[in-house]
Chain A
Amino acid sequence: QKEVEQDPGPLSVPEGAIVSLNCTYSNSAFQYFMWYRQYSRKGPELLMYTYSSGNKEDGRFTAQVDKSSKYISLFIRDSQPSDSATYLCAMTATYSGGGADGLTFGKGTHLIIQP
């Protein structure tokens, strides 16, 4: 079983829809959860960062972590064509002190927002 499972898509939705992106994981030690957005021909950029269980909201984006189910989600409200990108989840167990060398990534979900 892979450590982090993420449906690669593509996921295609109409503009204005609510988008739900998800990852499941198997390592119960993971405590720090991130979502990165990657546009075509660009590197990933950090979108959301959460610690442990709970919700975090930033504008149209909400990150949700359910550690009991080992399941994380990213919701995008009022989706825009500019949200079309690949979204990667990432997670790690502890601060290494030397940086993010412990990050485990999902494969990424390719999201398409249709105008």
Chain B
Amino acid sequence: ETGVTQTPRHLVMGMTNKKSLKCEQHLGHNAMYWYKQSAKKPLELMFVYSLEERVENNSVPSRFSPECPNSSHLFLHLHTLQPEDSALYLCASSQGPGDTSTNEKLFFGSGTQLSVL
């Protein structure tokens, strides 16, 4: 398998549930990201990991908890979500540290469409 793979593709959960989103990249990249995409809004960066270290956390509520066990895998753990958290959650990867133009080029997965009831 190539590229960036996200599972599950769709997820429906109640506000009291705990679930996890999974992302795997097969590109040999060193940086991974979680983005949130809501209707009529720009992509919102949630978390950035570079060489498995979290380098950015954009004031995301604590009900979202990321985990990056290695440079190929990224998880987003969800608990006690709110209906307004319903959105498409996108994982992305990029080359990572260095000073080449490839660093800023993101490769996205197909996303997990999350519905919170």
Which residue of B6, B30, B50, B104 has the most chain A CB atoms within 10 A of its CB atom? Answer: B104
From B6, B106, B111, residue with most partner A Cβ within 10 Å: B106
B43 within 8 A of A: yes
Chain B residues with a Cβ closer than 8 Å to the other chain, count: 33
Q: How far is the CB of B99 from chain A (nearest CB, A)?
A: 6
Contact between chains at A43 and B99 (CB < 8 Å): no
Do B50 and A49 touch across chains, with their CB atoms under 8 A apart?
Answer: no
Q: CB within 8 Å of B: which of A25-53?
A: 32, 34, 36, 41-46, 49, 51
Let me know if A21 is at the binding interface, CB within 8 A. no
* A42, B109: Cα distance in complex, Å: 7
A sample of 5 inter-chain contacts (CB < 8 A) reads A88-B42, A101-B45, A105-B42, A106-B42, A107-B40
